[in-house]
Amino acid sequence: MAGTPEFAPQALQTLRRLRFSAATAAFQIEGARTLGGRGRNIWDDFVDDPGKVIDSSTADPGPDSYHRSAEDVELLAGLGVDRYRFSISWVRIIPDGKQGTEPNAVGLDYYERLVDELLAAGVTPEPTLYHWDLPSGLEATGGWLNGDTVHRFGEYVDAVADRLGDRVRHWYTINEPASTSLQGYALGDLAPGRAMLFDALPSVHHQLLAHGTATKILREHGAAQVSAASNHSLILPETDAGADHAAAAVLDLIHNRLFADPLLLGEYPDLDALGIQMPIRDGDMELISTPSDVYGLNYYNPTTVHGVAEGPLPFEMVPTPAAATTGFGPLWPIRPETLRDFLIDMRTRYGVRLPPIVISENGASFPEPEACTGPIRDDERIAYLHDHLEAVAEAIEAGVPIAGYTVWSLLDNFEWADGYTQRFGLVHVNMETGQRTPKSSYGWYRDLIASVRP
Ligand code: IFM
């Protein structure tokens, strides 16, 4: 195709070392919110609260993968990905999330069928156990602010591992704990929609404990690879002023190090300046830092901040200077070299404690129509993915261990508070009919994967 970016031969050679995947998440693609004995989660509550989702969409039916998963598997097989990162809905398995609830066989059957279909198609399943969809019954008792949620998560993981552990060897535990703590509990723009600012931070500790708990359980069930999927961003000061540098250091602390340090070093960074005390009990830090086989890292864009002298937070996010932006506008700039720089920083910060990184999400949304009659030419997405993969290759060449790369997303889907207004898919989905139409980025990713295979 004219204008399609090419990789340099050295970059292509480097990319041969990666395993390739594409990702989705249960609430964003399944629909069928009231079927199969499924219970309610915090996103059901969020979408049913008028005004919370920008276009009032409810994720149901959305891509309707609950009924159309066979088509998704066919698309994955056509793409030639090594793996598929999907998520399991907690409330399809334990509908009320509570202690002592019998696991729901219909929910387990659904995921077992999906796993079997993937394996039959030669695609390795890599499910995520928690992608933001906490049972509503647990949010009512404090959600991730309550340490008891960790035990309930352990029971759910046990039920899933009992059913799937003989076939699934690769797992993600908790997706983007930073988004849940910062946007869900501190600021409230994601479910559960609380706005507790720094009081939200115990939710960090409990999610990390849930990760450690799940890791132990999954290992007992023979898992070969377990990891959280942590979202990170390179934080840039707006100017060289001391106040902007100080603001960048604070956001780097609470967005990046607050999650990576305990996972990789077994300790929190110094939080005294923020007046935060984590509810740490004996043995917690060992559990959280149970060695992971890989470090799952979601990366989309850098974040630029400006120091704020007085206010509830010591920083304010401002647009990053960039040649181009995604469908989200100036706060979601396209700066691929910041992925390379962030990966190199990870290696510098964590040295030999850093296991191979898997890029567990990377991708971009661009304005695209709801209905399409033929393939959509999404050259901007191709350029975004190409340039970020080039950044990954450069990081590998600079000595960062990187084992895999995952596109977000296989399908257009429900983009949380942004509803259907942001489309991330390699495959266009008509949200009225569920019809799937591969975009040109699908063909591009397929050809790239084919070209780096022996
Ligand atoms: O859609 C989300 C996904 O659920 C988590 N990571 C970021 C994606 C794009 O915003």
| Number of domains present in the structure of the chain | 1
- Give the CATH number of the domain where residue 97 resides: 3.20.20.80
In this structure, the number of other CB atoms found within 10 A of the CB of residue 158 comes to 18
Give the model confidence (pLDDT) of 36-54 as tens digits: 999 999 999 999 999 999 9
pLDDT value of residue 403: 98
The CA distance from 427 to 433, in Å, is: 14
pLDDT at 278: 95
5 within 8 A of 441, measured Cβ to Cβ: no
Distance (angstroms) between ligand 1 centre and the Cα of 415 equals 7
Residue 126 in any domain: the answer is yes
- The Cα–Cα gap between 405 and 387 comes to 13
Give residues with Cβ within 8 angstroms of 353, minimum separation 6: 264, 265
What is the rounded CA–CA span in Å between residue 439 and residue 22? 14
Q: What is the pLDDT of residue 306?
A: 97
Residues near ligand 1 (Cβ within 6 A): 25, 28, 176, 298, 361, 408, 415
Nearest residue CA, atom 5 of ligand 1? Answer: 176
Residue 345 belongs to some domain of the structure: yes
Residues involved in catalysis: 176, 361
Tell me the average pLDDT of the chain: 97
Q: Residue 374 — pLDDT band, cuts 50, 70, 90? A: confident
Q: Is there a domain that residue 184 lies in?
A: yes
Task: Give the pLDDT of residue 4.
Answer: 86
pLDDT, residue 294, reads 98
Give the position, in ligand 1's atom list, of the atom nearest the Cα of 175. Answer: 5
Compute the distance from residue 179 Cα to the ligand 1 centre, in Å. Answer: 9
Nearest to 302 by CA among 277, 278, 320: 320
Residue with CA nearest ligand 1 atom 4: 25
Tell me the best of 53, 328, 416, 424 to mutate to test the pocket of ligand 1, counting ligand atoms within 8 Å of each CB and taking the most: 416
Q: How confident is the model at residue 1 (pLDDT cuts 50, 70, 90)?
A: very low
**Residue % of the chain over a pLDDT of 90:** 94
Give pLDDT, residue 20. Answer: 98
Assess whether pLDDT exceeds 90 at residue 91.
yes
Q: Return the pLDDT at 454.
A: 77
- The strand pair at 402-408 and 19-23 is best described as parallel
Query: What letter represents residue 386's amino acid?
Result: H
236 is a domain residue: yes
Give me the mean pLDDT over the 344-355 stretch.
98
Domain that holds residue 56: 9-448
To test ligand 1's pocket by mutation, which of 41, 175, 176 has the most ligand atoms within 8 angstroms of CB? 176
Contacts 24+ apart (CB under 8 A), 198-202: 198/274, 198/275, 198/276, 200/145, 201/254, 201/258, 201/276, 201/278, 202/144, 202/145, 202/278, 202/279
Q: For 406-438, how does the pLDDT look when each residue is reduced to its tens digit (9 = 90+)?
A: 999 999 999 999 999 999 999 999 999 999 999
Q: From ligand 1's centre to the CA of 175, what distance in Å?
A: 9
Q: What is the mean pLDDT of residues 87-107?
A: 97
Q: Return the ligand 1 atom nearest residue 300 CA.
A: 7
Is it the case that residue 384 has pLDDT exceeding 70?
A: yes
Instruction: Give the chain's end-to-end CA distance (angstroms, integer).
Output: 23
Average pLDDT value for residue range 155-175? 98
- The pLDDT of residue 7 is above 80: yes
Residue 80 placed within a domain: yes
**Is residue 408, in this structure, part of any structural domain at all?**
yes
What mean pLDDT is predicted for residues 293-301? 98
Per the domain annotation, does 3 fall within a domain?
A: no
Predicted confidence at residue 449, as pLDDT, reads 98
Instruction: Answer left, alpha or beta for residue 364, where phi above 0 means left and psi between -120 and 50 means alpha.
Output: beta
Domain-embedded: residue 4 = no
